[in-house]
Structure formats: C-alpha cells, structure tokens
Structure 1
C-alpha cells in the first residue's frame, strides 16, 4: 500500500480525536445530541487547527455515519474548494442540486473550504440559498481569513473561532503518534517541532514526517534543528551574550557560524525573538517559557540586557523581519541587525567641551530663588594678575554673579592642549562645508571608479567593519576626496570616531588610487546638502574654501580624560573669590555655572 503522510493517517475521525479545540467540539456535540443544529456554520482560524476535519466529523455525526466510512463513499457530503472554483458559474453548478433530496442520509451537507476566495458574484449567488436553505441541507464554510467574507454571509452563519493549538498539546500528540509508530524520540526535539509549527497540528505532523525521513531510527534534537532550519539554544545564547556585552565582532562571527550551517534567515530572526521573549518572562512568568535554555542562563541574560533594552531589540527584530521578506540579500540584513542590536542600550561616549560654556546657557528662571550662582563667561578679557575679579550683585534675582578669569594653570593647560591639537584629529570631516568643497570639484568618473570598486574594497575588512561599511554609499568624489553617506545616524556616529576603520579605509583607497580625504554624513543630510548646493549654483553663489582648510573630526575623549578634565575644572573653579562667596553665603546656596 502506498505511503500516506502522517497528517492524513492521523486525521481525527471523531470529536474525541480532536485536540486543542475542546470548547468547539463540546458545543457541536451538545448541539447534535439535542438536535439543535443550525443550517449554516462558519469555521475560521489559522491553518492546520482542525477546521475541515471538524466539518467532516460534524457532517458524519448529524447523519449517523460511522467514523470508519471513507469520505468518498458518502454522496450526501459535498466538499467544494473555493480556492480553485471561485467563479459564480462554479457556485451555481453546486447550488443547482440543493433542492434535490439526500440520496442516503438525513442531511445533505455542503463543505465550502477557503470560502473567502469566492468572487463577489459567487457570494451573491450563495447568499439567498444560505439564508433560506431546504430543511435537509446544511452549509459549513471554512476559512483562514474571515475578514474577507462579506458581513451579509457572516450574519447568516454560526461562527466558531478555532484557536492555535498549545505547544504542549502538540508535543503530547506527537509523542503519542511516535509511540504508535514505535519510533524513539527526544522531548526537546518535539518541543522544537511544536515551536516551528506555530499552533498548527498539520504543520507539526508534516515536519515530524520530514524529521523521521531524515533520521529513521530516532527523532533527535539535531535532526529537528536540521530539518526546521532552527538555531540551537547554545548558539542563540552565545549570540545574545556577545550582543549584550556590546561585542560586535564576536556576535558577527557567531552569526556567520550559524549561517554557514545553512540556517534560514527568517527562522533565525524568529528564534531570536522567541529567546528574547523567554528572557523577558523568566522573572515574571517562568511557566510560559518555551525554549530549552536553562533558567539560570535566561536570568543571566535578563540581568545583562534589562527589559527596556529587550523591548528596543524586539522592535528592531520586527523591522528586519519585514525587510527580509523583500530582499534576496538576507546575510547583509542580518549583519546590519547584529550591529544595531549590539549598539542598542550601549552607552555612547559623546565629546564634551568642559571649558567653554556661556552663562546664557544657564539663565535663572526662578526669581524667588535664593541660590547664588557663580558663572564663568567666555571669552573673558584677560586681567592683570594683581587685578581682582569683579563681583556683581543681581538683587532682582537674589543672586551673586561672579565674573572670574582663568587661572594661570588653566592658561598653561590650554596652551598644552593647543600644542597637541593636531594629535587629537581623525582623518575624516563632516558637515555642509566639507560636502560643498568636494561637490565644487566633483567628477563623475571619480565617483564611478569608487562605486565600481566599493564592494571589492570593503570585502578586505573584517566582518564588523564590513557590516558598518555595507550601509555606507559613495555619493560624491573628486580628485581631492570622497563623500560617504550612511543609512543610519547612529552608525554614522560610530564611523566618525572609529580611528582604526578610517586608517584602514585610507590604506585601501590608496591601493585603489582613490583620494584619501573623506567626508562622512548621513543619507538625509546628503540629500539636503546636495539640494542646497544646487540652489547656490542656480543663484550664482560660489565658495572659495578648500577641503584641506576645513577642520577634521576630533577624537572622542575617553572617560579617564573627561574625569581628569572635570576634576581640573572643579579645582580651578575654587578660586579665592569663589571660596570667599561660599564663606559669606554658605556652600548650600552657592552654585558654580560653567
């Protein structure tokens, strides 16, 4: 006898055989027992949840037909596939026999599968008959998309919503089937199959069929992972640990190891989302956890990621999931995803100018306040060393504003800072003037040369730098330099302060005979600045600045430098006049404004 798929062999023949839809099956059984069945039903819900099986069981039960009777031997149960017979002519052919009495059974039952596929004309043809059918005719409509069924049809039916089957129920059913088949299995393998089936028993049985064919002696975790394209829990945990630590190179390497094993990109994103969901629930509802990862591992991840970061990561994953459906370059999107996830929630070090702030940046807004603010305005005229600072009392705001000069120590530090200014500059520039300087001398052949070599050029970099440069696009070039536009401002900021990336990019440009002067901007800024440049050209405005005359981006100060600068600033602000003010008015109401 020819082999039959498991979902056909184990299709339920009675309501007691159905799993996961207890409310629906009990309601239908009660209606049959009390002879209170309706003339039209609508079974809706996700695929593989038992809609068509329930319709066939219901049709047999109301006619007293035994479960062992083959469907082909029951002439009074008519199945109609609306997906392939959606025309009004097809519907009229079916309805033309409605008025004829059943051949053998008490009721003639029409099962219309995928009813939402019917055309408007076919729905209209069905409408009148559905409203007032003969007493011995019943209709059962089945659909996965009830929102596409006209309300005029919905209002004439009894509607039953089939739910996704719980994973534990699916696992139990799969285990029972494997015991009947005398096939050994691992519980975690069944859990993987149930997760991938997404609440559909038919999908679960189809996947189980494949896993059995892949390894006939036993259903193992490895076989289930290979067939479903899922990722092992160990790999997912390693991936998330690297991301939580902000270790982009390691997370990218883990991603490439996963992809080399042939894992599906969409499935990988779903697996990451599932693991993040379990991490989020580990402290709140541990009973709802689906993954096979130990609870201790999940608790470690939730401590390192924190709930707000998990929520932000889920938003990014959802966005990438939609983009993966529209692209054939899934690896690039997954690399971009990895870089973005590594950056979410990581503290960004921003360059802060500690020594220059105007007193206007801190205006007093509370006229009733008795606080004393010590403000340092710049630039301040240099006073002779023996000249004392000027103290001004602002009686209206009850404030004392002390105008104070820099100490000789600060002057010396400033001089040293200027001497080392060149050492603090990176290789790139940014901003409108830098873009205009390149556009003024831009050449189409220079840009074409760069674009033609770009993919080959960035392939020389490591995976972390490749992921960063993949979302950068050469948009302008001249004999002096090039403009690279980045898709995401956050990644642009990372590239602006990545000295190693800039040095390697400069070396690669030299090897390809490309100018090494670089301007980094975002795509949005590029569009705006290009439009502004075109507008200036039309108005006859010309600029004479050269790219080499414009300042480069400064290195970001490390936390140690910032702390040292802050300490120095606090020390210098404690000048005698400040100390005297605190002595007179008290430390609690004296505030130094930088």
Structure 2
C-alpha cells in the first residue's frame, strides 16, 4: 500500500508534537536532561491521546547518541533504527493478544541479557490491563528490580484493572482528553503542511466530534478528505461525523422557543430521514444550548464554545431566551438522553422530548413587575422585624450583664433566709391529727396529678416535702432543704397550682405555709414551750400518749417523730 492514513504519517516523533499533554512531556524532558530515568512507567488515559507515541519517543530519547537531550534528534543511527524497527532492543508487546503467563516468563528470562545496539532495552507493553493475574504476578518481581539496562513502559486505557502492586512500582502519568481547540490547531498545521484546502469551520466540527482523541480526529479528517472533491467543507464534515448542521439546530431551537410543535417535529423528521443518529442529535442539541447559555451569560468566552457558531440566528435566539428557559431545556434533554440508552424506541423519546420542550413554561417576572414589587415589600418588612428583634435581644443581654449581683446574692445567701413564724403558730393553735391525715391521704394523688398536668418541675420540688401540721383551712408544708423551700416561696404560681389541685382532690381550699425542716423544729419547740406553763394540751402531732411518754423518757433532742 502506497497510501498511509494521516494518523500514521503524522504520528508524533518528538515530545513537542504530543498535543495537549504538556504536564507529561515537560516532566519526561526534565528527567531526561537530569538523567533521572525511572525503571518503570505507567501511561494511562483515553484512546488517541498519545500514550504509545510518548512511549516510543521516550525510548528514542534514552538511547539517543546525543544523550542527555530533552528531545530525540531523530537523525542518529539509534533514533533512525528505533523509528524503522531495525533495532530489536525496543520491544513493543500487545498485551491484548499476549496476555498469558508464558509470554511474561519469556520477557523475564530475556531481560537479563544486555542490549545489542543501544544503551537501554525498552519494553513497551500496550493495553497492559489485559494481562491475566498470573501474568501480572510473573511480571511483579522483574518490574520491581529489573537490570540497570532495562526500562518498562506500560500503557493502558483502564488503569483501575491493574493491580495496585504493579501501579506502586511505576511512575504514573495520566494523559487527559485533548481539548477541541488543541485538536483544531494540530489539524490546521497538518492541513497547511499537506496543502489541503479546507474550511476552518469544518475542522471545528471534526474537532468537536473527536471527543478528545487526536487519532479519532485525524481519522475523521482523512474520511472527510476522501468524501470531498476539492475542498473540505462544513457539509462534508457534518456528513462524515453524523453531526447536525448549525442551521438545523437554529431552526429547531427557534421552533421550541416560539412553541411551534409542528415545525419542531417536522425538522426532527427531516434530520432522521437524512440518517442522523438520535443519540448524536441529542448530544449536539445539549451542546448547542450549552453554548447558547455560555454566550448569553459570558459573551467574552467565545473560544470556549464547543458546538455552535456565532451567526445571526444564534445571536437573536440568545437575546430572546431567558437563562431559566435554557436551564429547563438542558435538563429535559439530559433526562431524555439517559432514557434513550435503555430503549429501542429512541425516535419516540425524541418526539416526546420536543413536545415537552415546546410546552415548557418558565415563570419569570421583570424587576418592575407588580409581583416583584410586592415581594420586595415583604422582604423589607421582614428585615425590619429581624433588626428590631436583634435590638431587643441585645438590650436584654446588656441589662442582665449590668445587674447580675443582687439576684445572685439572694439565691446564694441561704443563712439569711427565714420564714415568718406567726402563720405557722396560728396553724399549730388549731391543728388536729384528723386534718393532717386528710391531707396526707391525698398527697400521693396530688403528686400523680401534677405529673399528669406536665408540672414535672413542681412535682420534683415536692419530692422531699411533706405536710407536718394542718388545721381545717391551712397546713404547714415542711421542706427538707432550705433551697427548695425558698424556690417554692419565690414562685407564686407553684402554690396557686398546688392549692387548686388539692382543692379539686379534697374539696377544701387550703392556705399553704412553707417552712424548712430546721426552722420547723425550732418553731414547734417554741410553741410547745409557750404552752407548758398554761397546762394546755398541745393539739399537734405530739398529742399521741405514746409520743408524750417517749418525750418524757429521752427528751426532744434525741427523739425524731415520723407519721
């Protein structure tokens, strides 16, 4: 065959020709100049991005007679021999067809022999992820500690399938997809060198269809050259790549914007009759709206546009459409694209999608619309209310900080807390055991009722309290701890709730007089002493003859009376 495909003729022969991978080529060039060559490399990335080409360039550079150099000279005997394949020290292996253990063992046995014609023996293993587990295990030790004269370069499109033990023994370089701008720039260079007549817009169509692969772009360009007569035109590129023309996309977008369902469906029918792929159509339409949104929001980023060209129809559409509408169009198209992947009725999904796009309603109001004015008023009122609440909160915090001492002193100085003894004396004057037992019989029901009313705090406060003396309309409530008594007396709501609940249970409205346990003992003793000279009988808990006898025997100090 006298003719060679463009991607073979224009395969990069130096690092400068590797398009869009500067982060890889610069690192390798610095390593070559500093003579810090690793024993193993892993090149990973999508197809057609220059992995194998970079491996061959590196093999030439390390064996170049002018070493150290950043680029192979491609003129010396070593470079020329590697390029035409006459030097057997650079071995390229396809792991897709040589993936067994025996092939790798053969490599392992031969690496010990020194190279014949050049300084380094280089093994380039393409599609290395296709090796079997046994083959990877056979390669492992050799890859970790090869002889000084051997370099391994592994290339793959699926690095996740390679064992981590292999990856950790290599210097890894990730090749990225080439941008459409870099692809077009390279194709322009090739077209100018070969004397090809072309429309630059056609090259942009091919660059967008290549999806980041330089080899795919050159193959499409080769096909477009064969399809065209004297000059590669936009129509030639559209036909070869299966892409949709700009005029067709403009017509469809205008019909959708103007809600003309019949026109949109007619345009789709025409495209499908031309043999356009439904999946490719959905992709092109998404990219078209993406470019439309980009031009509308950031017109200065014209170079970032992927699919569309700035003709008059495109500019008019960008002015008439709202960003919210474009968001909705892209969202509907993306969902349709996902659904088409799992269906055999792609055309039906596209037709339904176009009807949805035509019926899309995006509610949007201009800034001076009545709805927006009303909304602004509500927002302003809410902001004023929030500001007022913040001021009140700040004022209360300042007052609390400015006067903390008196409240703290009242609560902390327990020694100064004394109850009024006179009401307690009055209760003791009229106290009877019958009245006291009547209250105590209802005390458990009282606590249960308070818990049922969710007065848990009050019920907890009364846990260590008990009635100690009672008359027909009042009783003394003794608290074990001073602080609990003080808390109950300071909160009037507690006694109101307690009195109301007890009235509901016993049918009598009682006056409640709180007293700490220590003060209760003192007041009761004082009351008894006052009654002794008169010989009156004390009508309290101590009226029981057994209690009186016990008092005579042991005295009040050693006796504790419990009901």
Q: If the length of structure 2 is used for normalisation, what is the TM-score? A: 0.59
Checking the alignment, whether the CA contact within 8 Å between 1:251 and 1:338 is kept in structure 2 is yes
Structure 1 match to 2:355: 339
Is the 1:88–1:121 contact (alpha carbons within 8 Å) kept by the matching residues of 2?
A: yes
Q: Which moved more, 1:66-75 or 1:106-115?
A: 66-75
Q: Is residue 49 of structure 2 the alignment partner of residue 44 of structure 1?
A: no
8 Å CA contact 1:243, 1:338 repeated in 2: yes
Kept after mapping to 2: 8 A contact 1:107/1:138 = yes
Q: CA deviation at 1:346?
A: 5.5
**Which residue of structure 2 lines up, in the alignment, with residue 187 of structure 1?**
200
Quick check: 1:188–1:292 contact (8 Å CA) kept in 2?
no
Q: Report matched runs for 1:77-88 at 5 Å.
A: 77-88=90-101
Distance 1:180 1:304 in 2: 43
- 2:283 matched residue in structure 1: 270
C-alpha separation in 1, matches of 2:361 and 2:114: 70
Please state how far the C-alpha of 1:304 moved relative to its aligned partner.
Answer: 4.4
- The correspondence for 1:228, drawn from 233, 241, 250, is 241
The correspondence of residues 58-457 of structure 1 with structure 2, limited to 5 A, is: 58-64=58-64, 65-66=78-79, 69-282=82-295, 283-284=297-298, 285-294=301-310, 297-345=313-361
Number of equivalenced pairs: 349
Q: What secondary structure is seen at the aligned counterpart in 1 of 2:247? A: helix
Task: Supply the distance in 1 between the matched residues of 2:273 and 2:178 (Cα, whole angstroms).
Answer: 33
- Cα distance, 1:131–1:26 mapped onto 2, change above 3 Å: same
SS at match of 1:310: helix
Q: Give the Cα–Cα distance (whole angstroms) in 2 for the partners of residues 112 and 338 of structure 1.
A: 48
Contact 2:291–2:308 (CA<8 Å) still a contact in 1? no
Aligned residue in 2 for 1:13: 13
State the 1:58 CA deviation.
Answer: 0.2
Query: CA offsets per residue over residues 93-129 of structure 1, 9 Å max, x none?
Result: 3323122221211111111111122222222222221
Query: How much has 1:296 moved relative to structure 2?
Result: 5.3
Higher relative contact order (CA 8 A, sep 6+): 1
C-alpha distance in 1 between matches for 2:132 and 2:336: 35
Note closer, same or farther for the CA distance 1:96–1:262 as it changes in structure 2 (3 Å cut): same
> 1:278–1:298: 8 Å Cα contact kept in structure 2?
no
Indicate the SS of the match to 1:251.
Answer: helix
Q: Which residue of 1 aligns with 2:383?
A: none
In 2, Cα distance between the equivalents of 1:286 and 1:236? 18
1:287 Cα deviation from its structure 2 partner: 3.5
C-alpha change, 1:96 and 1:311, in structure 2 (3 Å) is farther
Q: Secondary structure at the match of 1:269?
A: helix
SS of equivalent residue, structure 2 residue 154: strand
Contact 2:324/2:362, CA 8 A, preserved across alignment: no
Distance 1:319 1:146 in 2: 30
Q: Could you tell me how far 1:42 is from its partner in structure 2?
A: 1.0
| CA distance in 2 between partners of 1:316 and 1:119 (Å) | 43
User: For residues 302 and 95 of structure 1, what CA distance do their matches in structure 2 show?
Assistant: 63
Classify 1:234/1:54 alpha carbon distance in 2 versus 1 (closer, same or farther; 3 Å). Answer: same
Cα drift, residue 8 of structure 1: 0.2
Distance 1:67 1:204, change over 3 A: farther
Alpha-carbon distance, 1:3 to partner: 1.0
- The secondary structure found in structure 2 opposite 1:234 is helix
Query: What is the CA–CA distance in structure 2 between the aligned matches of 1:341 and 1:92, rounded to whole Å?
Result: 61
Q: 1:232-275 deviations in whole A, cap 9, x for unaligned?
A: 10100111121222322211111111111111222211111111
Find out whether 1:55 has 2:76 as its counterpart: no
Cα distance, 1:91–1:337 mapped onto 2, change above 3 Å: farther
CA contact (8 A) 2:279 2:337 kept: yes
Identify if the C-alpha distance between structure 1 residues 171 and 101 changes in structure 2 by more than 3 Å, giving closer, same or farther.
same
CA shift at 1:330, angstroms?
2.8
CA contact (8 A) 1:13 1:67 kept: no
CA distance in 1, matches of 2:266, 2:48: 38
Give the deviation of 1:306 after TM superposition: 2.9
Contact 2:81 2:87 in 1 (8 A): no
Change (3 A) 1:84 1:26: same
Give 5+ residue unaligned stretches, structure 1. 348-594
Measured after TM superposition, the shift of residue 343 of structure 1 is: 3.1
Comparing both structures, which one devotes a greater share of its residues to helix?
A: 2
Structure 1 residues 323, 96: CA separation in 2 closer, same or farther (over 3 Å shift)?
Answer: farther
| Distance apart, 1:139 and its partner CA | 0.9
TM-fit CA distance, 1:305: 4.1
CA contact (8 A) 2:45 2:156 kept: yes
- Cα 1:316/1:123, change in 2 over 3 Å: farther
Unmatched 5+ stretches in structure 2: 65-77, 364-563
